[in-house]
Amino acid sequence: MAGVVRNIQVKLNIPEEHHSDVDETFEEFRQASQHVADHGWSDDPDHLVKAKNKLHDATYTEVREATTLQSSLVQSARNLAATALGNCHDLLNNDKNTSKPEFRGSVVVYNGRTITYNDDHVTLATTGDRVTAEYVLPHDDEDTPFEEYWNDDEWEKREATLHKRDGEYYLHVAVEKDVEPVTDDSTENGVVLGVDLNVDGYVAVTSTGAFLGNADELNHKRDAYERRRGNLQQTGTRSAHITIQSIGDRFAEWSRHRLHAVSNGIIREAVENDCTHIAFERLKYIWTRISNASKFQQWAFREIQRQVEYKAEEHGIEVETVAPQYTSQRCSHGECGFTHEDNRDGDEFECLKCGKELHADYNAARNVAWRCVQNWLKSGSGRATSQLALKSGTVNANGDFNASAV
């Protein structure tokens, strides 16, 4: 078994009478991390100290005497500084410029000895008494990380970091689940789900005929947000700046919620069709084909692939990418494969050779899966059989169709 780790952000309702305890913990934790970083730093990688045991021996007693942090929080501060120093060491070894880690802002790292999770609240160690804080969870958690990880008992809550932003407290919790690792044996008979991503119409279409998300709705919301942000920027007041941050956070949360619904739909199709792989078009080639795509649309494509990759891992499904050339022009029907730019007209695809008619994005998704299978055959991957997952069954690399069991 292998452990898969995900991170989820949870807002906390910390009673006002305990804000001073929490805020003092932020400051002392920052001081502790900085003290360790100051001791270990050198711009010569041969003299920079990054080993936790050496940093502990040199700084633990000093930090304990200088702060009121309990032992476990002192060790967490040391680990945070050690990680930062290790990153600096790697950069210096590669002749890249860097500087001594500087700890600013409000962050505390908690582990099993300093945090306790309960059904509706968490308790946190501070410089004062232990503080109880209630979770502030969304009213509707469908297709959100809360539904996937927070409310699922198979995911165990682990280490967490507490942050403070704009006067609000947020807990970033690492959750872990044991899954069966992907092996060569488990993917010997590969079944591929192809996915076509779009800047308009449906966000994603699969080779099994699932039409997911509304790209037009995403674009409309983005345009409305950009117009409002532009108007507020012209105002130039502090109040306008705060409002920009607020509406930006709300739009980002709304967008991720919509994209989670899309990625969940892709995973659902892969699981229900016993797929071993999910194939996307390679993003760096997509941008040349849709060069007019906005930065938001590019982010959305990357975000969907990112979400699918980590969700697929939980099911032992691998994600691959393929070159997208001619996936929208090639006929995916059986052994035809006729490729011509006039095969496609908007959302409609009609092969000029065999006459097959399909939704253009569905045809493209089938071609994405087909290309993945072809790549396996060319590379000699050793898979005994390779198939495309389609709406009513599977098709192998030779075009032979196997109907789904009814």
- Residues 197 and 340 grouped into a single domain: yes
- Residues 129 and 203 grouped into a single domain: no
* 124: nearest Cα among 7, 24, 5: 24
- Residues 236 and 103 grouped into a single domain: no
- Residues 221 and 102 grouped into a single domain: no
Q: What is the pLDDT of residue 191?
A: 87
Domain membership of residue 234 (yes or no) is: yes
Q: What is the pLDDT of residue 193?
A: 92
Domain membership of residue 183 (yes or no) is: no
Q: Distance between CA atoms of 355 and 358, rounded to whole angstroms?
A: 10
pLDDT band at 406 (very low <50, low <70, confident <90, very high): very low
Give pTM, 2 decimals: 0.61
The mean pLDDT of 360-382, rounded to a whole number, is 82
- Residue 290 or residue 207, greater confidence: 207
Q: What is the pLDDT of residue 399?
A: 47
- Residues 66 and 122 grouped into a single domain: yes
Domain membership of residue 150 (yes or no) is: yes
Q: Distance between CA atoms of 189 and 395, rounded to whole angstroms?
A: 13
Phi and psi at 336, nearest 5°, equal -60, -75
Q: What is the pLDDT of residue 93?
A: 86
Residue after which a domain boundary falls, among 178, 201, 235: 178
Residue after which a domain boundary falls, among 126, 144, 178: 178
Q: What is the pLDDT of residue 290?
A: 52
Residue after which a domain boundary falls, among 133, 148, 178: 178
The mean pLDDT of 281-292, rounded to a whole number, is 62
The mean pLDDT of 368-389, rounded to a whole number, is 71
- Residues 223 and 156 grouped into a single domain: no
Q: What is the pLDDT of residue 314?
A: 83
Per the DSSP assignment, residues forming a β-bridge with 132 are 123
pLDDT band at 384 (very low <50, low <70, confident <90, very high): very low
Q: What is the pLDDT of residue 344?
A: 93
Q: Write the pLDDT tens digit of every residue in 234-271.
A: 888 888 888 888 898 888 888 988 999 999 999 999 99
- Residue 51, pLDDT > 50, answer yes
- Residues 143 and 212 grouped into a single domain: no
Residue range(s) defining the domain that contains residue 115: 2-178
Q: Write the pLDDT tens digit of every residue in 299-318.
A: 899 999 999 998 888 888 99
Q: Distance between CA atoms of 367 and 243, rounded to whole angstroms?
A: 45
Domain membership of residue 34 (yes or no) is: yes
Exposure string for 75-105, b = 16+ CB within 10 A, e = fewer: bbbbbbbbebbeebbeebeeeeeeeebebee
Concatenated DSSP letters of 10-63: EEEE--GGGHHHHHHHHHHHHHHHHHHHHHH--SSTTT----HHHHHHHHHHHH
- Residue 392 or residue 379, greater confidence: 379
> What are the distances in angstroms from CA 194 to CA 282, 290, 319, 326?
12, 19, 10, 15
Q: Write the pLDDT tens digit of every residue in 109-138.
A: 999 999 999 989 999 999 999 999 999 988
Q: How many domains does the chain have?
A: 2
Domain membership of residue 93 (yes or no) is: yes
Domain membership of residue 184 (yes or no) is: no
- Residues 393 and 247 grouped into a single domain: yes
192, amino acid identity: V
- Residue 53, pLDDT > 90, answer yes
pLDDT band at 403 (very low <50, low <70, confident <90, very high): very low
- Residue 405, pLDDT > 90, answer no
> What are the distances in angstroms from CA 234 to CA 22, 34, 237, 239, 365?
37, 40, 9, 12, 43
Q: What is the pLDDT of residue 245?
A: 85
Q: Classify residue 275 by its DSSP letter.
A: -
- Residues 323 and 258 grouped into a single domain: yes
Concatenated DSSP letters of 128-141: SS-EEEEEE--S--
pLDDT band at 58 (very low <50, low <70, confident <90, very high): very high
Domain membership of residue 353 (yes or no) is: yes
Strands 401-403 and 344-345: unpaired
Arithmetic mean of pLDDT over the chain: 85
Q: What is the pLDDT of residue 180?
A: 61
Q: Distance between CA atoms of 56 and 312, rounded to whole angstroms?
A: 39
Compute and round to an integer the Cα radius of gyration of the chain.
Answer: 26
Q: What is the pLDDT of residue 404?
A: 46
Q: Write the pLDDT tens digit of every residue in 324-351.
A: 888 889 998 877 889 999 999 999 999 9
Q: Distance between CA atoms of 266 and 306, rounded to whole angstroms?
A: 12
10 Å Cβ neighbour count for 364? 27
- Residue 397, pLDDT > 70, answer no
Q: What is the pLDDT of residue 263?
A: 94
Q: Distance between CA atoms of 52 and 54, rounded to whole angstroms?
A: 6
- Residues 154 and 223 grouped into a single domain: no
